Amino acid sequence: MSKHYAVFGSPITHSQSPRIHAAFAKQTGIGMDYVAIAANHDDFRAKLDASGVVGANITLPLKEDAFALCAGNVSARALRAGAVNTVLRDGAQWRGDNTDGLGLVRDLTERHGLDLRGRRTLLLGAGGAARGVAPALLDAGIHSLYVINRNSARADALVDAMGEPGRTHARAWDTLPALGEFDLLINATSASRGGQLPSLAMALVAPRSVAVDLSYGEAAVPFLAWARAAGCAQTVDGLGMLVEQAAESFLLWHGVRPDTAAVFAELSGRADALLTAD
Ligand code: NDP
């Protein structure tokens, strides 16, 4: 009998995760079904428990809720991130993990051929996605990480959680123009979902800079267009990360890591039509 899986979040209608996991299941011959379930802070736990799933992905805005829900039953990387994007049923409890960081690093290094070592890095946002990618970027050897967030307390908390005060720094938006050039600029905010682009300074960009938006499709356009106009050497959207983090979740649930190349190629062929990322 097929086991049930799902992705929880809001908005969730345009999530690509059901399509990605269906492709992985077909490729590996594993019987499963995977659906998208809309949930918010107030009803997430009840919906997860009632869903009958044995595993789930958790997306915006629930990754920190999922971390709390797992009550310490989390992997080392989820503990460091303070955010969970993958849960597995563990008896009457849920076990949490975070595959976002590995997904981003795999996409940047293996698909896009980037060497992350030594890069002075700017991270815009301090929500669940930023928390997931920050430890993986540090582990991949970036030089330093500057975290900017609208709510400065969240940026402070992220930096504190990394436990590397010499390499990680929280800064306010209004200090951005004075921070100098960055080799890697990552937009981990959800601002563009509301059609907004946070105010950014051209002085952040050098000719060698790479800009990454964790969103893809229309949502990635404002930041990546700004990055190209500012002179970035390369721009990358979040579609590859989406497929890679999904493959890592699939591995946790089924013990098999699917091949991501064909799924990425299929999705990128229609990326312009995609409205949202997970
Ligand atoms: P959260 O809701 O947890 O965090 C949202 C972040 O965006 C916060 O830092 C928030 O700041 C900031 N933000 C929202 N609106 C604005 C604005 N108008 N101006 C400045 N900052 C703003 O969401 P996630 O962290 O889970 O997701 C963030 C983005 O990453 C989403 O677009 C999501 O689709 C994408 N993503 C992509 C993945 C992939 O695989 N490609 C995986 C995970 C996420 P504040 O704290 O001040 O509210």
Give residue for tokens 């979902």.
Answer: 193
Q: Convert 226-257 into a string of H (helix), E (strand) and C (coil).
A: HHHHHCCCEEECCHHHHHHHHHHHHHHHHCCC
Which H/E stretch holds residue 78? helix 76-81
Q: Whose CA is nearest to atom 26 of ligand 1?
A: 60
Report the C-alpha gap between 10 and 242 in whole angstroms.
Answer: 16
Q: Is 241 in the pocket of ligand 1 (CB under 6 A)?
A: yes
pLDDT score of 192: 81
pLDDT score of 278: 60
pLDDT score of 178: 94
Which H/E stretch holds residue 211? strand 205-213
Q: Residues in the chain with pLDDT < 50?
A: 272-277
Q: Is 63 a catalytic residue?
A: yes
Domains along the chain with CATH numbers: 3-99+245-260 (3.40.50.10860), 101-239 (3.40.50.720)
Q: Give me ligand 1 centre to Cα 28, in Å.
A: 32
| Predicted model pTM | 0.95
Tokens of 40: 């918010």
Q: Kindly report, residue by residue over 113-134, the tens digit of the pLDDT.
A: 999 999 999 999 999 999 999 9
pLDDT score of 173: 93
- b/e burial code for range 52-77 (CB count within 10 A of at least 16 → b): ebebbbbbbbbbbbbbebbeebbbeb
